[in-house]
Structure 1
Amino acid sequence: MSLQKPTPVAVAVALLLSATALQAQQAQAPEKTLSTVIVNSSADASAQGLSQPYAGGQVARGGRAGILGTRDNMETPFSITSYTNEFIQDRQARSVGEVLLNDPSVRVARGFGNFQESYFIRGFILNSDDVAYNGLYSLLPRQYIATELFERVEVLRGASAFLTGANPGGGGVGGAINLLPKRAPNEPLNRVTVGTGSGGYGQVAADIARRFGPDGATGIRVNAAYRDGGTSVDDEKGTLGLASVGLDWRSRDVRLSGDVGYQENRLKRTRPNVTLAGADVTSVPAPPEGSTNFAQPWTFSNERDLFGTFRGEWDLSPALTAWAAYGHRSSEEANSLANLTVTNSSTGAGNQFRFDNLREDQVNTGEAGLRWKGRTGSVGHEVVAAAGRFSGKIDTSFNFNFANLLFTNLSNPSFFAAPPLAPLPPLANTGTTRLTSYALGDTLALFEDRLLLTLGARHQQVDLTSFGTRTDESRTSPAVGAVWRASRQLSLYANYMEGLTHGETVPFTFIDSTGTARSTANGGAALPPGTAKQGEIGLKYDGGDFGAGVAAFSITKPRFTIDTVSGVGAAGGKDRHQGLEATVFGAPARGVRLLGGATWLDTEQLETGLGSTQGKRVIGVPEFQASLDAEWDVPAARGLTFDARVTYTGSRFADAENTLKVPGWTRLDLGARYLMDVSGRIVTLRGRVDNVTDRNYWSSVGGFPGAGYLVVGAPRTFTLSASVDF
């Protein structure tokens, strides 16, 4: 498989042509001042449009609650945070994971064996495969999603099966992530951003938008970006190119929107994961220097994705609205990998072996529904009926070289020529996923609309095939949610939800009882689906300029085990996560903005059948984690803002028996931006330093069920950028 590298010239030409064509539609640039620019996004294919920003502009007042549509946070029996594009730009976030560094209920990890982003939400793993785009799953690039492709990041905490249906990758038990596409604002937009950072990294991006026709009924927004260069880790390099076009059209009764996007991400010598195994591993080794790279020089990971989506909404009457959506993604991957297994925790000695693979994905997904609003006497109703369908096909080709181990060291690595490997076999189908679901719900407004009671159910069918094994299960799952508006400032809520979640996929390798890496007897097999259950109660406060929330929850999810003698993976036991979350957001004082909170988690492995794991904590999940981000507008220097973020993650375990304890860590990040007027054009300069104290730490543990691999945190990292609106 050949993945062609996009050239800077091609991207630059595309940017120039787009800018020229759109600039011709505008006779002159609008007047710009140093005051904060507030852009009201046009309606997408939804009468509700985007939820309005909250005070401070970092998060929105609400977000999309699945089939219930966009809801105000105070009227939703769920916990939702929607991070705005303004906040994403100001933190110079380059991926979904970098945005979610600010979320106290989320911790970013890595997928198994590669460099895919994964997210622990309430301690449960959600892979980037399971991220939704405008309400539809698995449409965006599978391993890494650049921020230029979306407007907002919405985090819906807790089980979401009734609201969004089953996730194709089996995640979504602890929460869901939905990315909203960019739409043309009501005012013309011309923005070019250039940036650089540690390791000689450089980037250029353009964001151009216009509205046309009577009342600006038609909108187009074009985004393109190119990144190239090194990182703060020695010898790591990456190249990313992307382009996307978002279109929307609206009339009195009909709203349409569509998106087409392309992203190619090429990684070279990216530092891999670290697995601990062997009789000489009695503790977790100290992390190496943050800049140390133990990746072999021949390793790489390339991914190319093409995706598109269409959504329409039609008001059949003032009370009845119909909607439908469809999306498709085609992707290709090629990798040569060599993860590190440390076999001696005192010396850091270990080994690597070569693993090559190819992969192609084809995804088709869609949904349709009806929403009716009305009253029966004093009771208000918002009834929704929806149907969804997901179809995914995976073709792979891979080969391991266990026999040719490369002996190296965590802190003082050795490097080798690429070991010989037999030619990869032709691509063959190794997995299909077919999900079908039907949902019906009603939100009742009682007692002069102070009590909002949501009752619903979703019937789900999960049909999976993986490496010759097939599972086919169906179930109807209930959902109940209630919100009591005690006052304009205070809401109390509760919910109970169940959902059919498809079984885990057995990994291809595992570490046996002697500490040796072995192939799993039924690697790749899809285990039977199970039912996840959640109960939650919470309190929300909205003081106008400052908001807060607290939630207590209990979630259970089926799990799997691997017999370390036979090497067979099977369904068995469950994980229970109980916890308490606290969040804060908004502008508590003039020129000051706060965002963050804390999460306490009590996790247990239950019904495992093994005394060594029964009742023990779940791999990779801390008992306590917290994030707090603060901004301050300097009164004496108009346009100058400083920000600081403190992130804390408690200790975690790297094994199911809880014998390998990974220390917790605290990280300090600092940033500044300056907004100024240069010849009538708004220029924003941004700079930040992440990991200011240059701390060495294990940033994450695990990211795949049952696996406790480690990821080394990045060292002190500098980024600088300049954006010009013209």
Structure 2
Amino acid sequence: MRFRLSALTGFFSLALSAPQANAQADAAKELPAVTVTSEYQGSFKANTVQVGTFRDASPLDVPQTSNVITREVLDAQGANTLFGALRNTAGVTRAQLNGSTFDNIAIRGIFVENRSNYRLNGSLPVVNLLDIPLENKERVEVLKGASSLYYGFVPPSGIVNLVTKRAGKAPVSNLTVSANQHGGANIHADLGRRFGGEQQFGVRVNLLEGREDIGIDNFSGDRSLAAVAFDWRASDKLSFKLDFERYRKNVSEQAAIAVPAAVGGKVTLPGVPDARRNLAGEWQKFDAEASNLLFRADYALNDNWAVLFEAGKARIERERNFSQFQNYNLATGQGTLRIFFNRAQEWENENYRTELSGRLPGQWMTHELALGFATNERSQNPGTSSLADVPQNLYTPLTVAERSPGIASGPNRSTIKDTGWYLFDRISFGEQWQVMLGVRGSRYESVTSSTRYQAKELNPAAALMYKPTHRMSLYGSYLEGVEETGFAPGNRANAGELLPPALSRQTEIGIKAEVAQGILFQAAYFDIKRPSTTVDSGNRFVLNGLAQYQGVELAASGEVTKNLSLIASLLFLEAKQLNAANAATFGKTPDNTPERTASLFAEYRLPTVPGLALSGGIYYVGKRPVNNENQAFVDSYATLSLGARHTTVIGGKRTTFQAVVDNVTDKNYWSTAGNGLLGVGAPRTLKVTAKVEF
């Protein structure tokens, strides 16, 4: 679905011409002059978490590391991509791809599975094989570690939850125009209203149309978004929510660079290419469209008990001309660009959940219970694929003439069905002690044209929490998870093969506290053991025993003073493979896993210049091995971002102007590794934005 700018602005004008908007416009003519002050209305700290069994819980009551990137942080940074948001959390790195089309992400060195670990409003597993837009999202959350109790077969990297904007008490009519120095530009309309005799209906609409350019050679494209969030309070006991979003992206895809073959057990990497260099042709498009639909109904049985029902469907259709540069000579740069023509690719997720939750009060012990049943079916049609090899040079790129797909191989369709029930009990002893117990029974089945797996699992979860004050909690937890071990990537001999599911275990101890003016501080030690994968001598993607991830993670977010906000994170990680049967990888660090990551972003609102805020951020990722044998490492890197925004009143309308520069030093660096591929970070980018609140 595509939207022209005239249609988008026409909708915005039509919305403002509604009676309510006219009434507001008339009233505005009679209002006195508005003075913009430096008073800060939002927060870098979230008061609740909206993911898993901890929906609506305070972060202090969650016995796992959780990070929330609020709308205020996203706006202050001008972030509109997943990696742009998640770089504010410890342990997040790009994986395999450099982000020119969508963000492949790993957390704590563990890949975030693209079909199960990304959730919409804590429920629907959306398919992250196309950039998920953030313009209609209120915040992005990460619940790190094993999450199988609520979400079934998922890797213990963590759940990334995207919470949509909804209509609030105050009407919203915002128009935002943004552009970067490379030629990219967007226009975005955000409209929210409540209506009805008792304001029982709410609608939030987001529309976006944009031209894409990220500052690399041979790149062009566009994207669009249409999203609506509807809610209805039918009565004091019954309410409904409906979310629908449809988005599209059609852009050139930057070529990946293959890791050279090892010589004498060592890999020699090429120098980091210029960030603007693209070895692929502009005609090599990534054309994808996604739609997500989620319905939820809540009914209060009485003051202590309620039921919910959720149903949702996510779908992506995609055609792709991906390429990787390989078999090259380090001295001359001469090599081969292998182009993969993928046609008629489809992914579809259907998700259903019903849950009974309630409270059993007692004189000295209180139970908060949740009993639920969920089923998720994921189907994949990888479409047809073919490939072509053309000469290319790393140092002096050649123009890649447009090619047509060759003889295509047939599809290898697959279906995964993950069904389970779960029971969770939070037992409170007074105000200081909590014991959390949970269990999930799962039935898993995966079917491809060549393989079939079935598994039944019963997995426990337990946590103990002590709260010496209402602003501090100490906890210890043990979680078991079951996970899919993944599909073989497209550049492997067994491409598309689904590996069997496996068990992971996690222990964590931590402390959370609210300090200063409103800073949420978190510190945790974690120990995760999970299945490991590798590439064998036949270029097959296979299981490779276990890997262990141990680390200490620190995080802080919120307001230091009324004028200074920050969000910061730090991770010390030790990861190693425990596969004694494979001497080449035993004791080595899993590929693309850094020992250190850190981030710090702060915004200062100048009290002497009302409405003006200055910001800066630094993001660090340590060195990472390019393969499981640790035959080479990409260097560590740090990027710097600077920004300023000023809010004033023009023509009676609150208006914000903003400028953000990412990668201020225009550093060239390897931004990603994994699966035998390397990617280069984005060049320096200046983004300017103007937002008018009608």
TM-score after normalising by structure 2: 0.94
Q: Determine helix, strand or coil for the equivalent of 1:74.
A: helix
Q: Determine helix, strand or coil for the equivalent of 1:200.
A: coil
Most deviating of 623-632 and 275-284: 275-284
Tell me: CA distance 1:246–1:611, structure 2 relative to 1, closer, same or farther (3 Å). Answer: same
Indicate if the aligned counterparts of 1:59 and 1:81 stay in contact, CA closer than 8 A.
no
Tell me: CA distance 1:635–1:373, structure 2 relative to 1, closer, same or farther (3 Å). Answer: same
1:681-726 deviation per Cα after TM superposition (whole angstroms, max 9, x unaligned): 1101110111111111011212xxxx13111011111000000001
Q: Determine helix, strand or coil for the equivalent of 1:290.
A: coil
Is 1:725 matched up with 2:672? no
Tell me: CA distance 1:713–1:111, structure 2 relative to 1, closer, same or farther (3 Å). Answer: closer
Q: 2:159 aligns with which of 147, 166, 176?
A: 176
CA–CA distance in structure 2, aligned partners of residues 570 and 245 of structure 1: 42
Q: Which amino acid aligns with 2:83?
A: G
Tell me: CA distance 1:415–1:182, structure 2 relative to 1, closer, same or farther (3 Å). Answer: same
Q: Determine helix, strand or coil for the equivalent of 1:154.
A: strand
Match of 2:548? 576
CA–CA distance in structure 1, aligned partners of residues 568 and 367 of structure 2: 34
Indicate if the aligned counterparts of 1:585 and 1:595 stay in contact, CA closer than 8 A.
yes
CA–CA distance in structure 2, aligned partners of residues 499 and 720 of structure 1: 44
Most deviating of 215-224 and 567-576: 567-576
Match of 1:102? 88
CA–CA distance in structure 1, aligned partners of residues 331 and 565 of structure 2: 45
CA–CA distance in structure 2, aligned partners of residues 477 and 360 of structure 1: 32
CA–CA distance in structure 1, aligned partners of residues 610 and 39 of structure 2: 15
Shift of 1:18: 4.0
Q: Which amino acid aligns with 2:223?
A: L
Is 1:235 matched up with 2:218? yes
Q: 1:391 aligns with which of 359, 363, 377?
A: 377
Q: 1:370 aligns with which of 356, 378, 381?
A: 356
Match of 1:296? 281
Shift of 1:27: 4.1
1:203-260 deviation per Cα after TM superposition (whole angstroms, max 9, x unaligned): 1000001101233211011100011042222232220111111101123112211011
Matches of residues 407-426 of structure 1 in structure 2 within 5 Å? 407-424=391-408
Match of 2:528? 555
CA–CA distance in structure 2, aligned partners of residues 500 and 438 of structure 1: 14
Shift of 1:435: 0.8
Match of 1:34? 36
CA–CA distance in structure 2, aligned partners of residues 449 and 267 of structure 1: 54
Matches of residues 431-450 of structure 1 in structure 2 within 5 Å? 431-446=414-429, 448-450=430-432
Matches of residues 81-230 of structure 1 in structure 2 within 5 Å? 81-110=67-96, 115-129=101-115, 130-139=117-126, 142-167=129-154, 171=155, 173-230=156-213
Shift of 1:603: 0.7
Q: 1:458 aligns with which of 427, 432, 440?
A: 440
Indicate if the aligned counterparts of 1:195 and 1:719 stay in contact, CA closer than 8 A.
yes
Indicate if the aligned counterparts of 1:135 and 1:178 stay in contact, CA closer than 8 A.
yes
CA–CA distance in structure 1, aligned partners of residues 21 and 304 of structure 2: 41
Matches of residues 353-364 of structure 1 in structure 2 within 5 Å? 353-358=338-343, 359-364=345-350
Indicate if the aligned counterparts of 1:597 and 1:627 stay in contact, CA closer than 8 A.
yes
Q: Which amino acid aligns with 1:282?
A: V
Indicate if the aligned counterparts of 1:467 and 1:525 stay in contact, CA closer than 8 A.
no
Which runs of 5 or more structure 1 residues have no equivalent in the other structure? Answer: 40-55, 511-519
Q: 1:59 aligns with which of 23, 41, 45?
A: 45
CA–CA distance in structure 1, aligned partners of residues 404 and 59 of structure 2: 56
Paired residues in the alignment total 683
CA–CA distance in structure 1, aligned partners of residues 414 and 100 of structure 2: 18
CA–CA distance in structure 2, aligned partners of residues 376 and 684 of structure 1: 52
Is 1:382 matched up with 2:382? no
Match of 2:679? 711
Tell me: CA distance 1:178–1:185, structure 2 relative to 1, closer, same or farther (3 Å). Answer: same
CA–CA distance in structure 2, aligned partners of residues 112 and 527 of structure 1: 25
Q: Which amino acid aligns with 1:413?
A: P
Tell me: CA distance 1:312–1:140, structure 2 relative to 1, closer, same or farther (3 Å). Answer: farther
Tell me: CA distance 1:429–1:258, structure 2 relative to 1, closer, same or farther (3 Å). Answer: farther
CA–CA distance in structure 2, aligned partners of residues 101 and 26 of structure 1: 43
CA–CA distance in structure 1, aligned partners of residues 455 and 38 of structure 2: 53
CA–CA distance in structure 2, aligned partners of residues 22 and 180 of structure 1: 30
CA–CA distance in structure 2, aligned partners of residues 109 and 659 of structure 1: 18
Q: Which amino acid aligns with 2:685?
A: T
Tell me: CA distance 1:104–1:709, structure 2 relative to 1, closer, same or farther (3 Å). Answer: same
Percent of aligned positions with the same letter in both sequences? 27
Match of 1:7? 4
CA–CA distance in structure 2, aligned partners of residues 111 and 398 of structure 1: 21
Shift of 1:569: 4.2
Tell me: CA distance 1:682–1:27, structure 2 relative to 1, closer, same or farther (3 Å). Answer: closer
Most deviating of 80-89 and 692-701: 80-89
Match of 1:48? none
Tell me: CA distance 1:21–1:350, structure 2 relative to 1, closer, same or farther (3 Å). Answer: farther
Q: Determine helix, strand or coil for the equivalent of 1:87.
A: helix
Tell me: CA distance 1:112–1:646, structure 2 relative to 1, closer, same or farther (3 Å). Answer: closer
Match of 1:490? 472
Shift of 1:612: 1.3
Tell me: CA distance 1:637–1:128, structure 2 relative to 1, closer, same or farther (3 Å). Answer: farther
Q: Which amino acid aligns with 1:161?
A: S
Q: Determine helix, strand or coil for the equivalent of 2:198.
A: helix
CA–CA distance in structure 2, aligned partners of residues 714 and 592 of structure 1: 29
TM-score after normalising by structure 1: 0.90
Q: Which amino acid aligns with 2:530?
A: K
Indicate if the aligned counterparts of 1:315 and 1:321 stay in contact, CA closer than 8 A.
yes
Q: Which amino acid aligns with 2:573?
A: L
CA–CA distance in structure 1, aligned partners of residues 22 and 392 of structure 2: 60
1:452-471 deviation per Cα after TM superposition (whole angstroms, max 9, x unaligned): 11001011122112342111
Shift of 1:617: 0.4
Indicate if the aligned counterparts of 1:601 and 1:622 stay in contact, CA closer than 8 A.
yes
Shift of 1:201: 0.9
CA–CA distance in structure 2, aligned partners of residues 562 and 27 of structure 1: 63
Is 1:308 matched up with 2:293? yes
Which runs of 5 or more structure 2 residues have no equivalent in the other structure? Answer: none
CA–CA distance in structure 2, aligned partners of residues 546 and 145 of structure 1: 29
CA–CA distance in structure 1, aligned partners of residues 326 and 384 of structure 2: 20
Matches of residues 695-706 of structure 1 in structure 2 within 5 Å? 695-702=667-674
Tell me: CA distance 1:421–1:243, structure 2 relative to 1, closer, same or farther (3 Å). Answer: closer
CA–CA distance in structure 2, aligned partners of residues 25 and 498 of structure 1: 56
Match of 1:540? 512
CA–CA distance in structure 1, aligned partners of residues 97 and 376 of structure 2: 22
Matches of residues 642-657 of structure 1 in structure 2 within 5 Å? 642-657=614-629
Shift of 1:592: 1.3
Most deviating of 663-672 and 499-508: 499-508
Tell me: CA distance 1:166–1:279, structure 2 relative to 1, closer, same or farther (3 Å). Answer: closer
Shift of 1:113: 11
CA–CA distance in structure 1, aligned partners of residues 229 and 328 of structure 2: 50
Indicate if the aligned counterparts of 2:45 and 2:559 stay in contact, CA closer than 8 A.
no
Tell me: CA distance 1:188–1:248, structure 2 relative to 1, closer, same or farther (3 Å). Answer: same
CA–CA distance in structure 2, aligned partners of residues 441 and 279 of structure 1: 50
1:503-555 deviation per Cα after TM superposition (whole angstroms, max 9, x unaligned): 32223434xxxxxxxxx1x3322121100110000011212422311100011
Shift of 1:311: 0.6
Indicate if the aligned counterparts of 1:110 and 1:117 stay in contact, CA closer than 8 A.
no
Match of 1:515? none
CA–CA distance in structure 2, aligned partners of residues 625 and 709 of structure 1: 21
Indicate if the aligned counterparts of 2:83 and 2:94 stay in contact, CA closer than 8 A.
yes
Q: 2:240 aligns with which of 252, 256, 259?
A: 256
Q: Determine helix, strand or coil for the equivalent of 1:70.
A: coil
Shift of 1:266: 0.6
Q: Determine helix, strand or coil for the equivalent of 2:104.
A: strand
CA–CA distance in structure 2, aligned partners of residues 684 and 420 of structure 1: 47
Tell me: CA distance 1:114–1:318, structure 2 relative to 1, closer, same or farther (3 Å). Answer: same
